[in-house]
Amino acid sequence: MNETTTWPGMQFGIFSVSDITEDPTTGRTPSEAEKIRATLTVAKHIEEVGLDVFALGEHHNPPFWSSSPTTTLAYIAGQTERIVLSTATTLITTNDPVKLAEDYAMLQHVSGGRADLMLGRGNTGPVYPWFGKDIRQGLPLTIENYALLHKLWREDVVDWEGQFRTPLQGFTSTPRPLDGVPPFVWHGSIRTPEIAEQAAYYGDGFFANNIFWPKEHYQRLISLYRERYAHYGHGAPEQAIVGLGGQVFMRANSQDAVREFRPYFDNAPVYGHGPSLEDFTEMTPLTVGSPQQVIDRYAAMRETFGDYQRQLFLIDHAGLPLKTVLEQLDILGGEVVPVLRRELAKDRPATVPDAPTHASLVAAAGGAREAVPGANRGDNLTDGSPYRDAEPAVAGASFGAAASRKDA
């Protein structure tokens, strides 16, 4: 086991959606090459300022460039020593789970265990037929594909037959997970209770990317996940592994922050030309102001959602120039996150787990293991858990059937 990431408690980091957007203050749109290089610079600076995680989205349509996040993250792994490299998100619906098993195990090896991934369905309709899929089958694809991915990482020899891909007979995905322990998986969602149920069923993490809707919506999703996590026998509700999204823009003076960020907000491809900046910041976690305002807003997240393990911020979107993004990172690393670490650690119950790392997963599995060719290790993290025979609460979410389906 060769990993250096050992943060206690929570992880803080950045997620990028990889948009290529015109800077509304200059009218200039960067090239793909320029944006890719800028993202690599941002990722390295995350480590330099003392943050913990860099997560990169997956898209297959303009104006986004990140169609191969494992390639980018592997390069960043070679340029860094400490940060966790994750995704935001990996498309579980349009990717072949066999290729996902291979690609992310490889990333796990080349990063020395500093890799995990967030799975999502994707909400861009045209992408599905580009990869031979039907968006109307989004949830069944999610359920079946993850059941296979989960199996491929935990069994050295796999027989499988499902609805959406050709059968597998005696198949071994390579390389095997580092130290015999698969990458940690977060299931990401902004609106779908079936995804919260899926995360709970497997005992995985649930990432609520609460950047668009009011907190009450995400409270319901996270409460469902915590309740069902306990139902499936993984631990108490407060022991469930939760991540949250967020958005910030900061200057020493809050008025300067609002004035500088407003044209980017008003013209952003995701939320521009909709609610006003003031209305959006009131309804969502977007916080535009001073570092202290960000600290106050995000320190209060535990009152809404309970103690949680990962906080990611979106700061490099909407055409913001690289210089500004690096300045935001300096403020986060120098003034905001150190305070949030202290505030969110206060009175944190000892029963609340720290953010998962490769080291903690290896320890939970009883130590590092080498793959044994032809041997079936089984599920080395959840063996004997009650959820194996339990039925999910959400209608149509046949996780148990998908997980056990195999080629006769």
pLDDT in tens, 127-166: 777 777 787 887 899 999 999 999 999 999 999 999 999 9
> Is the predicted pLDDT of residue 40 greater than 70, yes or no?
yes
According to the 3-state scheme, what is the secondary structure of the chain? CCCCCCCCCCEEEEEECCECCCECCCCECCCHHHHHHHHHHHHHHHHHCCCCEEEECCCCCCCECCCCHHHHHHHHHHHCCCCEEEECCEECCCCCHHHHHHHHHHHHHHCCCCECEEEECCCCCCHHHHCCCCHHHHHHHHHHHHHHHHHHHHCCCEEECCCCCCCEEEECCCCCCHHHCCCCEEEEECCCHHHHHHHHHHCCEEEECCCCCCHHHHHHHHHHHHHHHHHCCCCCHHHCCEEECCEEEECCCHHHHHHHHHHHHHHCCCCCCCCCHHHHHHHCCCEEECHHHHHHHHHCHHHHHCCCCEEEEECCCCCCCHHHHHHHHHHHHHHHHHHHHHHHHCCCCCCCCCCCCHHHHHHHCCCCCCCCCCCCCCCCCCCCCHHHHCCCCCCCCCHHHHHHCCCC
Is 341 a residue whose pLDDT tops 80?
A: yes
Average pLDDT over residues 37-60: 95
Q: Look at residue 22 and tell me whether its pLDDT is greater than 50.
A: yes
Rounded to whole angstroms, how far apart are CA atoms 260 and 290? 12
pTM of the model: 0.89
293-to-258, 290, 326, 336, 377 alpha-carbon distances in Å: 12, 5, 19, 10, 49
Q: Which two tokens stand for residue 9?
A: 């408690």
Q: Are 5 and 47 within 8 A, CB to CB? A: no
Q: Residue 402's pLDDT band (boundaries 50, 70, 90)?
A: low
The count of other CB atoms within 10 Å of the CB of residue 305 is 19
The stretch 181-202 carries a mean pLDDT of 93
Average pLDDT over every residue of 349-362: 95
pLDDT at 1 exceeding the cut of 50? no
pLDDT computed for residue 137 by the predictor: 82
Residue 383, pLDDT > 80, answer no
pLDDT of residue 62: 84
What pLDDT sits at residue 401? 60
Give the per-residue pLDDT at 378.
39
**Residue ranges of domains in the chain, CATH in brackets:** 11-404 (3.20.20.30)
Q: What is the pLDDT of residues 267-297, one digit of tens each?
A: 987 777 788 999 999 989 999 999 999 999 9
CA distance 370 to 164: 31
Beta 248-250 vs 117-120: how paired, if at all?
Answer: unpaired
Cα(326)–Cα(23) distance, rounded to whole angstroms? 16
Q: What is the per-residue pLDDT for 246?
A: 93
Give the C-alpha separation, 178 to 107, whole Å: 10
Would you say residue 198 has pLDDT above 60? yes
**Residue 396 pLDDT exceeds 50:** no
Output the pLDDT for position 398: 62
399 vs 189, residue with greater confidence: 189
